[in-house]
Amino acid sequence: MSKGITTVSKPHPANPWLGISWADTVALCDKGIITPAYCSAKGIDIGCLPEPYSGDIGSPVVCLNGNPGPADKCFHGDPTFEKLTINTLKHSKTGGRLWDTPLVKSGKLHDGCMWFQERTSELRKAIWPKELNLFMLEFFPYHTANSINFPHLPSDAYRNYLLCQAMKEGKLIVILRGRSRWFGIKDTCCDGEKIGEKLTKYPNLIIHRNPRSVYLSKKNFKPSDWEKLVDALK
């Protein structure tokens, strides 16, 4: 038997978002940190469903965002919204995912659907007749009205796993917001390299020019990066 270096793969972290519902909006592993008192002090809204990611995990493009903004209170307790959220968190295509199916209540389009449609309108036109297929990964999974100093959470392990898998599969990664936060992740990938450092050197990475207004439009990317984004989605 030849001697050599033995590499030990990191275990696949369990998806911590499978138990989310209107009755329980905080991942079990996060409850020691994401307490009502902490959230009240920091402006974190745990009265709504978290959104650690959205879209299709099978997409060739992974967008890295900061965190979901203020929740749409009109849809609080809505069972259809809960079902769509649960399907998204399970990475299931059954019954649609946020924001594939526009969600309307009392004639009002959900704020998240509106946000996504507005910011992807130019990209949708650029790839037509193909349908837009993105995966959006949030740095922090819970809703806040303002940017805060996000705490490290146990659920970050699954976020980091999804990012490592995207790099392993060679997907196009688009940083929309929080570049320094994403580059600063110190947890390691399965190859032992720090995730943030690996991301800084990742060859299939593009960075949005305007994190204050993350429209996926031609003017917000270098020309070569816009072409790369459009080609990846076509």
Per-residue model confidence as pLDDT tens digits over 155-192: 999 999 999 999 999 999 999 999 999 999 999 988 88
- CB-based contacts of 180: which residues, under 8 Å, 6+ apart? none
- Check if the beta carbon of residue 99 is closer than 8 Å to that of residue 113: yes
Residue 6 located in a structural domain: no
Confidence of residue 3 (pLDDT cuts 50, 70, 90): very low
Domain around 216: 28-233
Per 3-state DSSP, the chain is made up of helix, strand and coil in percentages (nearest 5) of: 35, 15, 55
Question: What pLDDT digit, counting tens, does each position of 12-48 carry?
Answer: 899 999 999 999 999 999 999 999 999 999 999 999 9
Q: How many domains does the chain have?
A: 1
Token couple for 59:
């997409």
Residue 23 located in a structural domain: no
Residue 150 located in a structural domain: yes
Residue 2 located in a structural domain: no
Residue 20 located in a structural domain: no
Residue 53 located in a structural domain: yes
Residue 82 located in a structural domain: yes
Residue 44 located in a structural domain: yes
Question: What pLDDT digit, counting tens, does each position of 198-231 carry?
Answer: 999 999 999 999 988 999 999 999 999 999 999 9
